[in-house]
Amino acid sequence: MIRFFAKYRHLITAVVAFVFIGAMVYFGVRMNRLRDMDVQSETYAGTAMGTALKKTIYAEDINQSDQVNKQIDDCIGSLEKQISIRIADSEISKCNANYAVDGIYPLSPNVLKYLKREIQISEETDGAYSPCIRPLVDVWKIEEHGNVVPEPNAIEDALKAVNTDDVEVVDTGVILHGENMALDFGASGKGIACDEVAELLKNTQVQGAVISIGGSILAYGNKGDNKDWHIGIQDPRDKDGEVVGIIDTEGNKIISTSGDYEKYFEQDGKRYHHILDPATGYPADNGLISVTVVSSSGIDSDILSTACFVMGLENGLKYVQEKGAEAIFITAQKKIYVTDGLRKKFRLKADGYELVK
């Protein structure tokens, strides 16, 4: 027997090692499956940033989910106190009410960081996006359920205050070089909130989460199965909750959608929506009804969905791809254009639309 083991010791060692590794793989896979089975989801609903807030959190126990849910609410609440015009004593509200023309108004480093990015994208898009669009928004009153086209002279007066060139960021604050100006994070705030929530989640033990803040959705981590998230895109010509298609995406992506169906009124058979063109003072009218942008940056996805809607199909497609993001453009003729990186990840679900190859 001793001679047998001596003669075949290498073979026996190899067999034992093979069996041991196989057992480790088996039990490792089994433990992963057990971990997957332990992951639970909890959904929380509410409101934030003037819109619906929905949070689905995947974690090992409900107590952990409850704790993270509160942290998310606190995170978004803190952000609103910085950038929301709906809060009278937020940083931005106080800036808009108290700034002096050509004077430095102090803002926190966090707000200045986001404002710099807004200005950069505004410059890159030749003004298709404006961080100081608020005077024009106030004239139209669409967010307040206004249903009358403003007088042309009111629009012309508002246009004088929405020029991004009149916004200057310095180390300690912002300088506004015009009268009656007002900063507005309405077209970027939800994406910014997604960015801040994503950073928060990195410091928790949750497996994954889907955070929906109005038209911006954060897909974080996974559900414990290492599979893609399936994110529905609103059908711009159907009731709320009906999807035109589904995007399959890995975690740590933000999906933002801007469309003419969100806030609008009709007058003399024409639809007037809330996405205003800073160049004309009127709602963007270039044949698009919805733009969705997928990016690892929330502020980029939110701003780009608005900017590309204003830019139109050709220029918008070109720009979003230059920025390394992916997008879905839907025209009034119900034709859908998808960037190359999303082509195999987008599934059309609604009837009456054509997916352009």
Burial call 109-139: b when 16+ CB within 10 Å, e when fewer = eebbebbebbbebbeebebbbbbbbbbbbbb
Q: What is the pLDDT of residue 155?
A: 98
Domain residue extents for the chain:
44-84+185-224, 98-176, 228-357
Q: For 75-79, 219-223, 224-228, which range has the lowest pLDDT when averaged over its residues?
A: 224-228
Interatomic CA distance for residues 223 and 123, integer angstroms: 39
0.85 surpassed by pTM: yes
Q: 44 near 69, Cβ under 8 Å?
A: yes
| Sequence-separated (6 or more) residues with CB below 8 Å from residue 270 | none
Residue 74: exposed, middle, or buried by beta-carbon count in 10 A (0-12, 13-18, 19+)? exposed
Distance from C-alpha of 349 to C-alpha of 341, rounded to nearest angstrom: 19
Could you tell me whether strands 354-355 and 335-338 are parallel, antiparallel, or unpaired per DSSP bridges?
parallel
Burial grade of 81 (CB within 10 A; 0-12, 13-18, 19 or more): middle
d(CA 35, CA 61): 12
Structure tokens, 231 = 């994110």
Written as six digits, the tokens of 207 are 């497996």
Work out the percent of the chain whose per-residue pLDDT is above 90: 87
CATH class of 98-176: mainly alpha
What mean pLDDT do residues 128-135 have?
98
User: What's the pLDDT score for residue 357?
Assistant: 83
Position 16 scores a pLDDT of 38
CATH no. for 228-357: 3.10.520.10
Q: Write down the pLDDT at residue 272.
A: 97
Q: Is the pLDDT of residue 5 over 60?
A: no
pLDDT attached to residue 35? 45
Which pLDDT score is estimated for 20? 39
Distance in angstroms (rounded) separating the CA atoms of residues 114 and 196: 12
pLDDT of residue 174: 98
What is the b/e burial string over 166-183, where b = at least 16 CB atoms within 10 angstroms of the residue's CB? bbebeeebbbbebeebbb
Looking at the DSSP bridge assignments, the partners of residue 322 are: none
Instruction: Identify the pLDDT of residue 38.
Output: 83
pLDDT band of 211, cuts 50, 70, 90: very high
Tell me what the mean pLDDT of segment 56-73 comes to: 96
Banded model confidence at residue 11, pLDDT cuts 50, 70, 90? very low
